[in-house]
């Protein structure tokens, strides 16, 4: 039975992941990555990779769940950044 | 001695926190919160609050550290959102 602590973690994970998706959608729709600085993208990318490794090491499902999804969306953003480079 | 797992957590925490600050700085400088949707801000705000509670419950210093700082910057962004409402 997933305990209360994990439920809190999953609610937090879902909220911060959902908050991230409009940016990915907007970038996909507009094909523009204006305002998305490369340094920010790479800091987020490596930061989330770090969180994913940390989540695996302490075996925290919410951290693994949140960072797997946001990491995938980060790869999408980085792909757009270079695909639609102006 | 802070072990390797915590170090990985702190590196991840620092990266994702740093990645967040340019947005706060840009909003402060331009006094404009255009492109920052309220729903995203509140999802992030409550998401980070959830992560902070989760971090306290599982006693993870990196999660507590990262979410305390980003939560403060979120309050700043929400303050700007309503202070400079157009």
How large is the average pLDDT for residues B11-39? 84
Contact state of B54 with A5 under an 8 Å Cβ cutoff = yes
Q: Tell me: the pLDDT tens digits for A31-84?
A: 887 777 788 888 989 999 999 999 999 999 999 999 999 999 889 888 888 888
Q: Tell me: the pLDDT tens digits for A22-43?
A: 888 888 888 887 777 788 888 9
Quick one: pLDDT at residue B37? 79
Q: Which residues of B touch A40 (CB under 8 A)?
A: 19, 22-23
The answer to whether B44 and A19 are in contact (CB under 8 A) is yes
Query: What are B60's two structure tokens?
Result: 């993870």
Residue B81 predicted with pLDDT over 90:
no
Beta-carbon contacts below 8 Å between A and B = 98
Q: Compute chain B's Rg from CA coordinates.
A: 14
Query: Residues 6 or more apart from B77 whose CB is under 8 A from it?
Result: B23, B24, B27, B33, B36, B41
In 10 A of CB B21, how many CB atoms? 14
Can you give the residue ranges of every domain in chain B? Answer: 4-83
Taking the CA of residue A23 and the nearest CA in chain B, the distance in Å comes to 9
Q: In the CATH hierarchy, which top-level class contains the domain B4-83?
A: mainly alpha
Give residue B1's pLDDT band: very low, low, confident or very high (50, 70, 90): low
Burial of A9 (0-12, 13-18, 19+ CB in 10 A): buried
């Amino acid at each position: 039975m997933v305990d209360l602590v994990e439920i809190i973690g999953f609610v937090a994970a879902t909220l911060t992941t959902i908050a991230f998706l409009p940016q990915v959608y907007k970038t996909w729709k507009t094909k523009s990555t204006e305002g998305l600085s490369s340094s920010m993208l790479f800091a987020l990318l490596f930061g989330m990779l770090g969180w994913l490794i940390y989540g695996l090491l302490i075996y925290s499902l919410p951290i693994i769940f949140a960072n797997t999804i946001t990491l995938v969306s980060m790869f999408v953003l980085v792909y757009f950044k270079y695909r639609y480079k102006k």
